[in-house]
Structure 1
Amino acid sequence: MANFDDDPAAERAVLLEAQRIARMGSWTVEAATGRAYLSAGLRGLCGLPADGTVEDLVALVHQEDLAVLGEFRDRLWAQRSPETLDLDVRDVTGERSYLVRARAEFDASGALVTVHGTVQDVTKIRALERQLSQDGRLFRETQRVARMGTWEWDTATGDCVWSSMLYDLAGIAPGTAITYSDYLRIVHPDDRGWVDQRWQELASARRPVECEHRVVRPDGKRRVFRVRGEAADPDRGVMIGTCQDVTEQRSTETRMQRSSKRFTDLVAITPVGIALFDDAERLVDANDALCSLLGMDLERLRGTTAEQLTHPDDRESRRGRDTPAFHSGQRVLSTAAGKPVYCELNATVSVTDDGRRFWLVVFADVTDRRRTAERLRHQATHDELTGLPGRAAVKELLATLLGGRDYQRIALLFCDVDNFKRVNDSLGHDVGDELITALARRLERGLPPSCTVARMSGDEYVVICSDVDEAGGVEVLANQVASLLRTAVPVRGQLLRVSASIGAAVPTGPETSGADLLRYADAAMFAAKARGTGRVSMASDALIASANSQMLLEGQLREAIANDQLVLHYQPVVGPDGTVLSAEALVRWPHPERGLLMPGEFLPVAEQGDLQGELDRWVLRTAFTEAAEWPQLCGGVLTGGVAIAVNLAGLVPGDPDFVDIVTSCVAATGISWDRVILELVETSLIDLPSRSREAMAELVERGVRFAVDDFGTGYSSLARLKELPAQIIKIDRRFVSGVATDASDFAVARALVDMARAMGRSCVAEGVENATQFHVLRGVGVDAYQGWLMSRPIPAREFRELLKLGPVHIPSGA
């Protein structure tokens, strides 16, 4: 070792070199004078000149560290012991760290004499410490997230060292002294023997060990540990390892295995075909249902491609289309016998454990459903009674024919059986159905192949001819159809002589649509019917213009209904003393060009345009709304509210949503159920199906009353009165007009009143226009009266004023 006693310069040089290597410098401050000494090493470390001062040194400190540096100085000057103080500060850039260490020297009296210190660049040390700290934190977090602890086992002493995470996993208080025997005590009794054997093998053979076993924690909870161990220092017999809690993973795996087993079982027993295909679209596996569906065993199916399974007809239809083998939709498969099977496919792509892709395809046999759909489509486009094409099929056929090059050769005949309503009303619907079917068969047998017969509605047929020249011309064809429908049809032992009114139309140009042709032929049919029964009429220019005018009026009516451009007038129904019992709502149309239109001018348009249902709903909603605001104080007398009667034509009890529509109107307006009267014509109440009667009964139970309007005009006998599910009978004005002058009218009125009273129904006389009629009807016991004698139909505002006046005037006398 060198001796520097005789060479201070050499010693100083060595000291400076040591400071440079340690990236350190020293400093001294005299307490009495404040003089400071900065070593050359310190100046070099901090980049200060030879005359650098303490102030220059402080100026190099980061702004945020100046406060703690001041506190550090105050502590040095204030302390009374030679204790060394440390402080970390950063340079002005914040990129480098320095450790400042200082110690005070005192004289014999304890006064501060000098402060000695050093400054060392610890940037790399601090970075390493931070990295080590971060590594330690990440290691601890990794153990926590992975639920993994570490351990050390001294096989010589049996002592173990556990990480804090392992204590937590085992449910043992951290810091508890642990030995190998303590560890074995928490191993499940059934696993303890073989686990001990594995660890003893590690201790003796020093070969790495990995195993899973169950543990029973002190709190009784059972967990599954995955433990790994190996020799850390074979010479000293120290083993180290990890311990991970894999309870959740094993539980999940068990559930997945059970789920997979259930899935496998489900695939095996499910009634739909299921198959697995590899990435080359070859069948790898299939369940019994698919084998049964295709009539092949699994061995025969294995290796077949999706294209090979497809029926040749379907394969040909798909040729040239860039579609994947498996996609949502339908595919026709081929059985072993070559029979087509319609299947709906649902496919999904999955991946096996080794990363290979496969398709899971479900084949649902929809052959029966397809047949049912075709049958339903036939039912939707064909008439159920006669089997003839229906309205939808007529529209499709007309659109096809009129869109072709030979549209000028097309003719359409609209046929309406004369007086068919009388047959239905007098002989019953069953007889009417037999008659309609017999006429349909006559038309099918008697017309040329170019003609298609269809049924539009109850007693209406349509004949569409695709080549009228082949049939001999429009007139010849129309007369032939008239001849076929002018016949005597044997039905249930009697001959029914019938005829039909026929309207014929041909396209007026390439712009003629199917709807136009139907309208023209319909208008011609009505013109024929106006001339008498069994007549034929051609759609002339005048008729077509009239039909177009009707179509315009229909569009305007549709708009008027939608925009609330109609109004209601009300005609009171009064008792024998003039008390207003109810009022019938009568619709009027204030047309912007034609003025106020009465129902007779636009109801036929509503009927032809299928607007009666919409019109009925508008009248219901409007009448209930206005009636809900009628005064209950009439002539100074408080009443329960005058009832409102609405005549229905398009909305009838047989409609599926009849009850819902009435209910929603009542609920929306707040009118009382017992103030609602629904009037229906006599013929709509005859032979009602059970569903219609149930709908009426449901409304009657809530308080609604039904009235038979114009009773006596429906070609039915008085005996049918008993069958009508109504509470009110309205005697038609044709009997009322002659009740005082015609003995038969008087007899009918009296019989109706007597029968209605015996059956618990009330009678209303319609069309009462003079005092004589009123007195005669009151004499036979009529319950209520409606007609111009009491009041004409008046607007809503005038009717409210009429109600306020009390009972209407009743003619005196007898």
Structure 2
Amino acid sequence: FFFAGNNYEWPRGSIDAARRVLNKSQGEVVGEEYLPIGAGYAEIAHLLEIVARSGADVFVPYFAGADQIALLTKFTELGLKKHMAVVMGHYDEMMVSNLSPEVREGFYSSNTYFMSLDTEANHKYLNRLANLPGITGLWPNGNGITTNFGEGAYICVHAFANAIRKAGSINTEDIIHALQTIQVDAPQGTVTMDPVSHHASVNTYLSICKEDGTFKIVESFGCIPPKIPERYLQQSSIYETQDAKQLAPTVEKIPVYESKSGTAKQILSVADMAVIATNDQGIIIEANRSSELMFGYDNTEMIGLSIHLLVPPQYRQIHVKHVEEFVHSDVIEKRMTTRGELMGYKKDGSFFPIEASIAKFRNDDSWLLVITIQDISNRKKTEAELTRLATHDPLTGLPNRALIKERLNAAIQRSRKNGSNIALLFVDLDGFKMINDTHGHEAGDVLLKSVATRLINQVRPGDTVARLAGDEFVILCENVEKVESVNHLAERINDFLRQAFQVNQLTLYVSASIGVAVGNGSIHSAEDLLRYADTAMYAVKEKGRDGWQLYNEDIQEHSKERFEIISGLRKAIQNKEFYTRYQPIINATTGQIAGVELLIRWNNEGKEISPSVFIPVAELTGIIIHIGLWVLEEAFKTEVRWRQIFGENSPYISVNVSARQLGEASFFDDVIHMISKTGAEAANIVLEITETSLMADIETNLKMLRKLSETGFKVAIDDFGTGYSSFSQLTRLPVDIIKIDRSFIDGIVKSQESKLVIRAITGLGKALGLRLIAEGVETREQ
């Protein structure tokens, strides 16, 4: 639930009662905000931006009149109806008559009366309304509208009339006694007075507004006996023990105190805090200008008021007790404290946080009390902003790692109680680093915000979208009935993230690798689900990215193997576990060795690890950067050694370079440093990059390859024919060699299609003046 309302007692008291009930039912409050009466457009828009990213599936706004109308209109404009339900306690026919059909439709209201109630008393009630002068018809076909306030007045009039009739008297005490047992057949249903609380048992309904502005009753809760909210119970009990002491004596009873110092008055008039003097009964006899401004009173208007009226109604009786205890104690000065926030209460009924101290001075035979008050609203606002920063991502406004863990733990507790399943989707963007490096962090930030919005638009009501860090997002789903629904959500997210993003006149593309974990609170912990989803996400990365994977035990086993590989790779260079092999590149005409391709091998504690296993892991973790530099240095050293042995007939050395290496800003400088250090000839080194990797970020790779080519290195496109390069792109690249992928060579004897592909690649290479290498030639026919 997300609660919000105007800053006065009715919204605060209603929300407090709702929170208490929600806590007892294992619900969760994901937000609570208050705005001043007459909140501006910007304040409402900012509030709804927070609500949209909160993960709430129910929004409960308690705003007065125009504020509520403005909020509901903006809520609808933002498209938030499909993400959460809105329930109100004062949404009635009068309010919806001020809203357009598309806005008012679909909002819920919980109240004691709606015009659509099907009771005999209501039909009679509405018939009388329809026959009143000036009424053109009943809503929505006319201007005849009545609400729970009107029906409440009807009940009161009938209750008093019945009480007078029963008492046979208009004497106050007789009427009060008779009211205790009165029952009224009201439009809402039977209303019965409660003799203990002196409140009434009323009927309550949940309804939903239809497009035409009428309400459909969704559920009837029956006649509910009165229950004083816990917020007011303490006040009520104190009131009973105080013997109904008068809270604010009349002005005639107030002794007059003459100020003995005009200078003191002048000092107090310019003080930036409220300073109020009262008698020992708490009646204000002096208040400076800051007091009047702070509490919203006009000049001298505070004189004669009780100091207790400056605190919220629910605290007044306890405040009376505390002040009396202070007056009769030996303490001369005391700081006012409370278990919660100490709140001030303005003339307009709004609340604000304060700090206050009270002191007493002997004045003849009585005490003069002096209260100093500071408005700490700005400090509290700053504290709230800091708290939000600690729990929310400042860029996207989404919950951060700390908050999503808290939400996940709460969801686990609910799952344990109700037996429902929880799902966690770990969403990691593919290719984001490349965009950041190419177009700058500003473009990257805009893209991340757009991704956050798309994720929010795809999830179910009540699902929480969070940003963990960088390009990692998490989606928490509760009450998952079928795993298929989560799988479909993952597919939708993949589909929508593939679509183009418009960022500062740029058209950018990303995809996502999504790991999905489904669990239950009785079996799994929050850490389990996070780890499972993360593991499944890495499985997608290894399979080529841009997809989703549901966690299973096979993935877990594979994850353990990957972890062992990662641990081994981190120390493999230091332990000298890597070694090289050289595959000859044969001149097809002469049969002589023209060059060699350097191949890396890894012997991990006597066990040979295949490159097809450890290279993808190295790519994912970034360890490939360090391995790649080691491989280049080995190639450079070999080139120098062979040139010393074979001279001009020394074969060239071909080395694989990953796209991850080309994307490193320091790569070029590292290569130049190694050339200088080893004395290798760049012209005898061929740098190979796969066609797929090359096309992933053609502009960035083009810049780097051109710099390397200008230094003297040769460039080869590896696995040609498996990617998506175009003729125009090839003409831009400083390419010297095309390597035909082995898959075509394997099928050259039996597959006509392979022959056609090889013939096309050969023709393309010759047209561009490039050398060609066929990979994996093993038979005479090939």
Higher relative contact order (CA 8 A, sep 6+): 2
Which TM-score band applies after superposition, normalised by the shorter structure?
0.3 to 0.5
TM-score when normalising by structure 2? 0.40
CA radius of gyration, larger in: 1
